[in-house]
Amino acid sequence: MSLYYSGLAGKYEGKVSADIAASGVAGKEWMNLPVRPDLVEAEQPEHLRAYFKQRLEHYRRISQALPPHVVND
């Protein structure tokens, strides 16, 4: 099994991109960085927006279990 995304078949390729976008939004929220989830959602293809929302909620639940993000000055 390849660890690279480029080898994924058509129906999974879009889902991988939506999943990465959702994890990026949740990660930025966890780090208290500015992010507009509604704009990222609007960038997703129409047929993957529900999947994006589902994955975003999944990653938000995971981030709640992480320790608080600490910024070292």
Question: CA distances (Å), 11 to each of 16, 18, 47, in order?
Answer: 9, 12, 11
Domains of the chain, CATH where assigned: 12-65 (1.20.58.250)
What pLDDT, on a 0 to 100 scale, did the predictor assign at position 54? 97
Q: What is the pLDDT of residue 10?
A: 66
Say what the pTM is. 0.79
- How far apart (Å, rounded) are the C-alpha atoms in residues 28 and 32? 6
Per residue of the chain (73 residues), what is the pLDDT tens digit? 455 656 656 667 789 999 999 999 999 999 999 999 999 999 999 999 999 999 999 999 999 998 887 766 5
Of residues 54, 66, 47, 46, the one with CA closest to residue 22: 54
- What confidence score (pLDDT) does residue 13 get? 76
